[in-house]
Amino acid sequence: MSLRLAVMVSGSGSNLQALIDARRAGDLDARIVAVICDQPGAQAIGRALAARIPTICLPLRKGADRAQWAALVADLIEPFRPDLVLMAGWMRIMPANFVERFTPDLLNQHPALLPETDADTYVTGDGREIPAIRGSHAVRDALRLGVPVTGCTIHRVTPLVDVGPVLARREVAVAPGDTEATLHERIKAAERPMVIDVINQLAAQAAQGRPVNVDHAR
């Protein structure tokens, strides 16, 4: 079953582009029915428009009521009847009134390794315990904390920031001399195929009428 996918973006939109390209190549079992952005001028908007995807930009004005703004964002997404809403580089923390509107079909991409729970640590595939790095500076924080390995996670969104059932992860080793930019680029290179895989697995499960629940992956 081809899913209807809404994608929320704030920045460069390279994950969005990967989804657009995969769809064109016949490698994505989902149609991007809408792109939602909160940053006027974001590169992601140009990518969406070039692909002729209906695109909405709704910035959060300084001093505005966040819950009201979030309700409006949800009101704008809903008419597109998405099966899945993916935060692919969406940089705003969304309040519970938004999260509840799309639960459990609201997914987030996070550029670090997250555990299953709200635990403070994550155990890597080879058994090393590292801090769970949450928040909007996860790549910078990985370098600051000196972790040997970081990565990326796709999880279902809950009202807790960067906490929720994990659908997929990839580990990425930190290299000597890495900068935030070089490390983030390697993480994004891992994220792009991962998000396509996750969406295809969810589409396959929906086609079988099974509850959408992707196997955990490293």
- Structure tokens, 109: 């991409």
Give the span between the Cα atoms of 28 and 19, in whole angstroms.
7
Which is nearer to ligand GRF, 93 or 212 (by Cβ)? 93
Nearest distance, CB of residue 192 and ligand GRF, angstroms: 8
Rounded to an integer, what distance in angstroms lies between the CA atom of residue 44 and that of residue 71? Answer: 22
Tell me how far, at minimum, the Cβ of 155 lies from ligand GRF, in Å. 11
Indicate the residue among 154 and 206 with the shorter CB distance to ligand GRF: 154
Strands 149-156 and 166-173: antiparallel
Closest listed residue to residue 49, CA positions, set 86, 16, 92: 16
Q: How far is the CB of 200 from ligand GRF (least distance, A)?
A: 18
What are the DSSP E strand ranges found in the chain? 3-9, 30-37, 55-57, 84-87, 106-110, 121-123, 129-131, 149-156, 166-173
Residues with a known catalytic role:
110
Nearest approach, Cβ of 150 to ligand GRF (angstroms)? Answer: 11
**Cβ closest to ligand GRF, residue 48 vs residue 130:** 48
Q: Which residues bind ligand GRF (CB under 6 A)?
A: 11-16, 88-89, 109-111, 152, 187-188, 191
Taking CB atoms, the residue at the shortest distance from ligand GRF is: 89
Nearer to ligand GRF, 91 or 207 (CB): 91
